[in-house]
Amino acid sequence: MFAALCLLLSACEGDDLKKVSAIAANKITLSRERTYGVEIVYSDSAKVKAKGYAPILDKVTPSAGANYSEMPKGVKIYFYDEFMKTKGSITSGYAINKETERITIFRKNVIVVTDNMTFNTEELIWNENTKMYNSPTGTVTTKDGNVLRGTSFSAPQDFSTYSITLPSADAYIENGKLP
């Protein structure tokens, strides 16, 4: 038995053993609290601004680093005006909220719907500090059916305007005229 162990250890190079020791020394443990069927209400001055729904919400506390909340089965958020009328939504297949950085990253088939447009992408980042949404790429479909694609999408929190770098578009012409 001892001979087999010596043979195994001698088969490992010294660098491999150093790597294992280094990895073991940097071990990070996670504490995870899971909640099912979550509804989160965001209000400002006693007025509801948004409601979010997630089938699963994991609050994660690493032994080193910052806390975060993860929604591994996705999220649906509805935005409301002062009369509690829905004015838009965000849906994604996955989301993570990094509390310390004050950012939320939406991933997997992200769809933003407003009165004026629909935006599709695979990743959308909400920065709570700047009150801006950003995405590396995306497609905007306007209310009249025009499609705009490009890179570096950005919009304020109400999606009232947006900008896209390197845009390309499909425009629909009616009776020989642009709408």
Whether residue 26 is predicted with pLDDT greater than 70 in this model: the reply is no
* 102 Cβ contact partners less than 8 Å away, ≥ 6 residues apart: 127, 128, 129
Specify the pLDDT at position 34.
85
- Which residue bears the tokens 């209310």? 143
3 state SS for 74-105:
CEEEEEECCCCCEEEEEEECEEEEECCCCEEE
Read off the pLDDT band of 120 (50, 70, 90): very high
Q: What is the pLDDT of residue 65?
A: 75
pLDDT at position 43, please? Answer: 80
So where are the chain's domains? 28-170
What pLDDT was estimated at residue 5? 36
Look at residue 7 and tell me whether its pLDDT is greater than 50.
no
pLDDT in tens, 126-166: 999 999 999 998 888 888 888 888 888 888 888 888 888 87
Residues 39, 24: Cα–Cα separation, whole Å: 38
pLDDT at 149: 86
What is the reported pLDDT for 25? 56
CA distance 100 to 55: 24
- Classify domain 28-170 by CATH number: 2.60.450.10
> Once rounded to an integer, what is the mean pLDDT over residues 42-52?
84
pLDDT at 16: 53
What percent of the chain is predicted at pLDDT more than 90?
29
* Main-chain dihedrals φ then ψ at residue 104, nearest 5 degrees: -125, 130
Whether the per-residue pLDDT at 8 is higher than 70: the answer is: no
pLDDT tens-place string over residues 50-95: 899 999 998 888 777 788 889 999 999 998 888 888 888 999 999 9
